[in-house]
Structures are given as structure tokens and as C-alpha cells.
A and B are shown apart, each in its own frame.
Chain A
Amino acid sequence: MTRLPVLSIVTWAPFVAALFIMAFGRRRPALVRWVAAASAAVSSVGSLWIFYAYDRTAGGFQFSERLDLVPTLGIAYELGVDGMSIVMVLLTAIIIFAGVFASWTVKTRDQEFYALLLLLVTGVFGVFVSLDLFVFFLFYEIAVLPMYLLIGIWGSSGDVPPRGIFGWAYRRTGVGSKEYAAMKLTLYLLFGSAFILVGILALYVAAGSSSFSLVELQQIRFEPRLQYWVFLLLYVGFGILAAIYPFHTWSPDGHASAPTAVSMLHAGVLMKLGAYGVIRVGMELLPEATLGLAWLVGGIACINIVWGALSAMAQTDLKYVIAYSSVSHMGIVMLGAATLTETGMNGAIFQMFAHGIMTGLFFALVGLVYEKAHSREIFKMGGFATMMPGIAAAFTIGGLSSLGLPATSGFVAEFLTFLGAWSSSHPWWLLPGVAGAFLTSLYVLRVVRAIFWGPKSDDPHFQHLPDAQGTEWVALMLLVFVIVLFGVAPGLAIGPIDTYTVPLLTRLGAL
């Protein structure tokens, strides 16, 4: 009996749906949405099956598929998942499923919107499951490019024109407009992919120009000098997508301007793709450089945590607060990876998952609030909890997870990471980490209080606002459920993650 190619189904189902939507979706909004939802459901079921059926005792790459594409160059369509990727695939599936429902109300050119969104998702799935660096890169590009149009066409421009002594310069370059954000994001990420491409090519040529296969490249020990500069190339290239300081500025602009589902997907999943790339390609293939440069990765991660949190505190636009909090939380991911300890690595990968769900929830909620109240200005809104109790409750749960309250998934992730930092060779990394968690509680509680639980605003626009309705509940319920589930039973994810981190650290010689 031939086994069902689950990974290919998960990856290509959204793509097929995108083609279908482009072919038959003209002026049939209901069809477009249900086809999108159906493909997301197919991917989700597949991801759940993978997550369930992955053999945790055996570990390693499973569900492998292989098809030679360009044999002369050693390019093959080679898929497989291990303990890290099954968690990421599951995350992607959850977010896109929620995202399809969160963008139910897109009015203009919905056919193209859903097609591009699903195309993007195929790219993301592809990155997480491909074992051939070349195919990996191709999927990576698919995941980056549709973003330009998605933000440029369906995004929203900020209400507040830039002020201050450089205000004139910002206004001239169009800072705050969706076109500016789309271009900035695209160029930053393409700039990163140029670094990645050269890094991958260098590894390929150094390994004898015979194969792009990750599994085969792992067997080769590259000379240390090459390792160091290729690691730097990959770290910067993928790091741009993971919003490492100082290449993070595309992220707040981009996420604030993007439409709801795109923000969810981008902050929730695509930024993880950067961290995933650093671990998967950088750390796995270049052990000596990883050990030698961990101080750099961890140090920059510390800056990220504190800088992101401080920037989030200074914002008055709700969407920017969430966007900067992503910068801060991605710092925790990179910090965990840089600790090179089992707990720290587990924490990092768990944080990728936890933060993905949490930030997805946040952006879905911000989208809902904006739709009802037509405002993103934190200090103009107030007392919404009486009018929209469901949204308020979900936002509060997300916020508590963000600041790391026990029984939410955010707590597990941060706890493990900080524990790892303490037992690593740089225990002082704990300080910025904990400081970041403290600052997070400040800005999250401030926002939650101002918008939802504080005194009611006198503004006549904010008097009779409805709560979430119909399909809008799907995203909220699903994401809140996942946050609590993985907060209460973190072993669900830690189990498979551990089958990945232990062999990796053993090979690095860090265990």
C-alpha cells in the first residue's frame, strides 16, 4: 500500500484552492470564502494527523517524500518533518484556519485577496516541510512576495501624520501609508533572501555541488572560516524576517498596515520562519560557527526583548503596540535558541508556537475592534468591556499569555527560556529577559485597562458597539482554546520538540 503524501496535501491544498478561486470565484463571494475555508480545513486536518501520528520515540524526519526535480544539479522535491516542524506546521494550520474566518468581511477584490493569501500559506507550509535547501528557498520566496500586494491593496494607512523634527522627511517618504509599509517590508525581506541565497550557494559549492539535500549536507563538516561567514549571512538573512535588532523596523510598519488575516499570518507564522531558518539551516549545518557566535545571537536577542518592549510602551496606536510586542517576543525565541541548552531550545521553539497563536489572536481582535469602533487610538477608546464582553475576555486572555501568566502557553515558553538562559554560559541573559517580561506586563495591562476595563469613553462614536458575531467567533474561540490548552498541557508540544532539540544539541556538542 502506498502511503498518502500527507505533507504534499497539506502544502498544496491552499494552492489548489487559490487556483480554483481565481478560475471560478469571480463575483461569487460565498464560494470564494468556503473554498478557502475548505482548503484550510484540509490542511488543518492533515497537520493534526501529522502531529498525532508522528512517532515520538523514533524521532528524526518522518512522512518523507522525494521526487527528483533537476537531477544534474542535485535539486529534489524532498519533504519530511521532525519534532520542530510538526509544531510549526500545526501552528500554520491553526492560524490560516482562523485567518480565513477573520477576513470574512473583506469587501474589495476578495477573489484576489483569498487567492494571494492561500498562495502565501502554501509557501509557509513548504518552508516548514522541505528538506532540500533549494526548494526551501523557492517556498521562502513564495511566502514573501504576495505580501507586497496584500498589504499594498488591502492594507490600511495610519491616521496620524508623522510629527517631530523629522516629520517633513517622513511625510515626504510616505511613512505610515500602506504603500510605504508594503514596499519597506518587501525590500527588507528580499534583501534578507539575497543573503540567504548566497549563503546556500556557498554551502552547496563547498560541499561539492552535488546536492542541496539538508540531510546530506549535515554529514559534511565545513571548514571553520566558511562556517563563520556563512552563518553570519544566514543569521542576517533569516534574522531580518525574525525581526532581529536593528533590522526589525519593517515589522511594526508592515504589521500595522496589513489587513487582519495578513497581520495574523505574518506576525504569527512568517516571523517564526526566520527563527526556524536560523535553527534549521544555520545551527544544524554549521555547528562550530553556532558555538562560536552564540554570544552574538543571544546578545542581539536581549536588545530585541528590551527595545521591543520599550517601543511598545511608547505607542498610542493599538496595532503598533502588538507589532512591537512581536519584536520583543521574537527576541525571546532567539534568546532561547542561543542558550544552546535543552530547556532553552525547547522554550524557544515552544515560544514560536505560543507567540504565533497569541499574536494571531491579538491581530484578529484588533481587526474586530477596528471594524466595530473604527479606531486604533488606545486612549480615545474606553470601557468597551460592557459592550463587547467576548472580545474583551479574549483580549485579556491573550494579554495574560503575553506577559507570561501561568496556565497560559506564554508562561511555559518564557519560563523554559529563562531557565535555559540561567543555566547557559551567559547567565546574565536572564536579566534583560525578565526585564522584558516586566515591561510587557506594563504595556499589556495598560492597553487592556484603557480600552476594555477602564472608564467608559464619552465619545458618541463609541456608545453602541456590537460584540463579535457569527464567523468572527471561530477565530477567537479556536485561538483562546489553543492558548489555554497548551498552557495547561505543555507536554503536548514539548514532547515532539524534545525529540528534535536533544539530537541537535548532541551534535553541536553542547549537551
Chain B
Amino acid sequence: MLPQPKIFYSISGLVLLSGWAWVLINLSMPGTGFTPCVIRNVTGLPCPSCGTTSSIMSIMHGNLELALLHNPIGYPAMAILAFAPVWLATDVLFKKTSLLQCYTWCETKLKQPPVLAFLLLLLGINWIWNLIK
């Protein structure tokens, strides 16, 4: 079922805005040690995406190797944070739905068991690495 364009664009806008707010908070107040991750706060163990903020901070400071060591998810996250707001704004301005179509296409692909299994395998490996490092 396709999401309603208005709801999709509102939620995506809110998610991107929160993402940028979080990045800016971390840029202005580095090293507070606070993590919003529920899993880490409850169990003390990192989740698959723990370290993404540090990774994005490293990318912003030009340290790409350190970003990889923090969490490789930082690269796609940074790319999404950089390009998705422009894409979203263009769609809203010109009354298009290309971002929604792209999301729907990606979701359809992700629903294919081999694609989903491969992605979850990658995330699983990343989680194991996150747990041991």
C-alpha cells in the first residue's frame, strides 16, 4: 500500500529535521557521552547503528578513516542527510512525488527476500563488529 504523499513528506521532513538538529547539537556540544539509543541504555551493549553520530562527526571533520571505524552506516546516513532535504524541498516546490516513488521502489526491492537477507546479513556483520570493537 502506498503511503499518502502528504503524510510521507511530513514524516520525512520531520525525520530529516530531527537528524540535522541532532547533528548540530553534537557539533556544538561534542563529547557529552549521551546516547539516545534505547538498547545501549538498557543493556549496555551497542545496537547495529550505534556510532553513526560519531561517524558523521568524523566525516564532517574530514576524517573518513575514523568514520569507518566508528560505524560504516555513517556514510549512507551522511549522504541521506545531505541530499534528501534538497530532494524533498524540490519535490515540495515543484509538486512532484519523485522522493516518494524512490522510497516505494526501494521498499519493494527490500521486500524481496534475497535483497532483505543480504542487507540484514551486512547489518548483522556490522553489529558483531560493533559489539567486539
* A is bound by B: no
**Chain B interface (Cβ < 8 Å from any Cβ of A):** none
**Chain A interface (Cβ < 8 Å from any Cβ of B):** none
